[in-house]
Structure 1
Amino acid sequence: MEASSAGIRALKVSLFLLLATTVLQAAVVSISGSVALLADTVHNFSDALTAVPLWVAFVLGRRAASRRYTYGLGRAEDLAGLFIVFVVLLSAVVAAWQSIDRMIHPQPLENIGWVIAAGIIGFAGNEVVAVYRIRVGRRIGSAALVADGVHARTDGFTSLAVVIGGLGVLAGFPLADPLVGLAISAAIVVLLWGTVRSVGRRLLDGIEPELVDSLHRAVGETPGVRGVARVQLRWVGHRLQGAVRLETDAASLADAQAIAGHARERARTTLRSLDDLQVEMVTPVMTTAAGHVHEESS
């Protein structure tokens, strides 16, 4: 609950910051006719909108598990990631279309100084949002929020491209503005690929190998454990679920359960985002029909 609240607070703050930046840039677009700035404004607006589905996902993820959704609704965060991919791709298409149209039907660029200033404002707004999202995302274990922060930081550099376009027009190259608009659109598509991979990996229960190594090391170093036969982890939203199979020489069921409890505590200390860990103990002394003692997570 605390992690979700922190995530929602970060999304609220970043949403209003990006909307303020977008409004300022849109005002400059209306008086300048810059398609490069228009592309950046549309992109910043779409980036602001990505906070909405993530916000909804964090709220849904706080709901308790039910008979229909026995693992809760943490996966809503991954579905929000798909929506983000669609919105960002749409912004790239709109920006490219506007840039191509301006190359076919050129128009003079006015108030170039304001265009350059708006580009700098766009960079500053995105960088503030990026730092905040990444910091909160890492603290609560939300890969989606961290990815959105990295995305905002990248958007800041596309805003700097608007400044380059404005300087190009001042230098006597009028096509610099639509060409920069096209470059921004291409950059959006290229950078979107990383988001697609991240979201797709989550939907397929992919996990960072270093997290698996950390869990393996934590439970493997538990006193009484002589081997780790299996380690499994998966993200459900911004929280982790896992299962391990441990080999032990425990002389009794009570000893095996105690070792399992210690292993679970070590795992949760190592992985702060770990909500649930199923611990399966294999011992040559105490066996069930299946050949192991299985302790359910508390």
Structure 2
Amino acid sequence: MMETKARMRAAVFGICVNLCLFMVKLYVGISTNSISIYVDSLNNALDSVVCIIALVGFWLSVRTSPKYPFGLGRAEDLTGFITAVVIVGTGFGFGYVSLERTLYPAPVWFSVRYAVIIAVTAVVKLLLGAYYKFKDRRHPSPVLKGLFTDSVLDFFITLSTLISFTLTRVAGVPVDGYFGIAISAVLLISGAKSCVSSFACILGKRETEDCDRAQALLTAQPGVTGVANVQCHRYGRHLAFTADITTDQMTVEAVAQLQEGLRALLQTEMGADFTAAISPGPSTVQIEQNKNGGVTNV
């Protein structure tokens, strides 16, 4: 719960910062007639919307009910997917407006004062990305990772906007539009990759790394002679494992004790719930004798 509150605070902070950046860039974009600065301001407005969606996703991820015993953890994955879709949409919009500016150039009124303001907004966006990175290290979340990536991209977008804004006064070509097209391409590629990754999580792709780690932990435990069909079910940050276990323990009490020990192991090591179907198998002595070619009477 504390982790979720920390993520929610990060989202609220992002909303405030992006709204401020939007208003500043919108003012500069209108004052200078720079299409790249204007579209960059709209990008910050969309970032605020994304943070609002992230805030809702974080809130939903900890809600539990009899119908959803593990909570709505995948709401976080859905939020990440929506974030990626917004990035793609921004890329298309940015590309269209930039192409229009390239085909139909318009004068841009350069000002050193405005250039300094845009430079400051770029630094603010980079610092916001560093803040998201710090929060993600302390409270890992795919949404915070997405917000970090988006902030870094926005930094380079604003930096490119600043360069084009500065060059426009000396160049005889619509630099503003060309830079906008390049930026839109970066947004489209980044957003498409994030869409594929987030959608795979929503569909429930197999967490191979987690499954392999769980299988290694289970196999190493005394009394376990075989581990098969390890499956990992992820609900946001919540993990639940199922597996088929064979054991050389032959009493009901020993099997129950083994199951409780395995459950506690995965809870401690991976913070995960664990359900096992345990069945008696060959004992450790039998396995060793069979390896050596011996015969065992049971």
- TM interval, shorter chain, is 0.7 to 0.9
1:154-213, CA deviations, whole angstroms, 9 ceiling, x for partnerless residues? 222222211221232244244111111111111110110121112111112124432222
Q: 1:295 corresponds to which residue?
A: none
2:40 paired with 1:2: no
Q: Distance in 1 between matches of 2:61 and 2:183?
A: 34
| Aligned partner letter, 1:168 | L
- Closer, same or farther in 2 for the Cα pair 1:123/1:270, shift >3 Å? farther
Q: 2:125 corresponds to which residue?
A: 126
Q: Is contact 1:234-1:242 (8 Å) kept?
A: yes
Q: 1:289 corresponds to which residue?
A: none
- Closer, same or farther in 2 for the Cα pair 1:189/1:139, shift >3 Å? same
Identical amino acids, percent of aligned pairs: 23
Alignment TM-score, normalising by the size of structure 1: 0.85
Q: Is contact 2:64-2:71 (8 Å) kept?
A: yes
Deviation at 1:35, TM superposition (A): 1.4
- Closer, same or farther in 2 for the Cα pair 1:80/1:229, shift >3 Å? same
Q: Is contact 2:122-2:155 (8 Å) kept?
A: yes
2:51 paired with 1:54: no
Q: Is contact 1:38-1:95 (8 Å) kept?
A: no
- Rg larger for: 2
Q: Is contact 2:247-2:282 (8 Å) kept?
A: no
- Closer, same or farther in 2 for the Cα pair 1:23/1:131, shift >3 Å? same
Unmatched 5+ residue regions in structure 1?
A: 287-298
Q: Distance in 2 between matches of 1:177 and 1:242?
A: 53
Deviation at 1:127, TM superposition (A): 2.1
| Aligned partner letter, 2:191 | L
1:207-246, CA deviations, whole angstroms, 9 ceiling, x for partnerless residues? 4432222222222222322332122113212322222222
Q: Distance in 1 between matches of 2:225 and 2:175?
A: 66
2:158 paired with 1:156: no
Q: Is contact 1:222-1:266 (8 Å) kept?
A: no
Matches within 5 A, 1:54-133: 54-67=54-67, 69-133=68-132
- Closer, same or farther in 2 for the Cα pair 1:30/1:185, shift >3 Å? same
1:40-85, CA deviations, whole angstroms, 9 ceiling, x for partnerless residues? 2222221221111121122122222234x45432232233233323
Q: Distance in 2 between matches of 1:13 and 1:150?
A: 16
Q: 2:281 corresponds to which residue?
A: 284
Q: 1:182 corresponds to which residue?
A: 181
- Closer, same or farther in 2 for the Cα pair 1:138/1:219, shift >3 Å? farther
- Closer, same or farther in 2 for the Cα pair 1:111/1:220, shift >3 Å? same
Matches within 5 A, 1:200-211: 200-211=199-210
- Closer, same or farther in 2 for the Cα pair 1:176/1:262, shift >3 Å? same
Matches within 5 A, 1:199-238: 199-238=198-237
Q: Is contact 1:116-1:162 (8 Å) kept?
A: no
| Aligned partner letter, 2:26 | A
- Closer, same or farther in 2 for the Cα pair 1:25/1:203, shift >3 Å? same
Q: Distance in 2 between matches of 1:282 and 1:112?
A: 77
Matches within 5 A, 1:5-20: 5-20=5-20
Unmatched 5+ residue regions in structure 2?
A: 284-298
- Closer, same or farther in 2 for the Cα pair 1:258/1:196, shift >3 Å? same
- Closer, same or farther in 2 for the Cα pair 1:218/1:284, shift >3 Å? closer
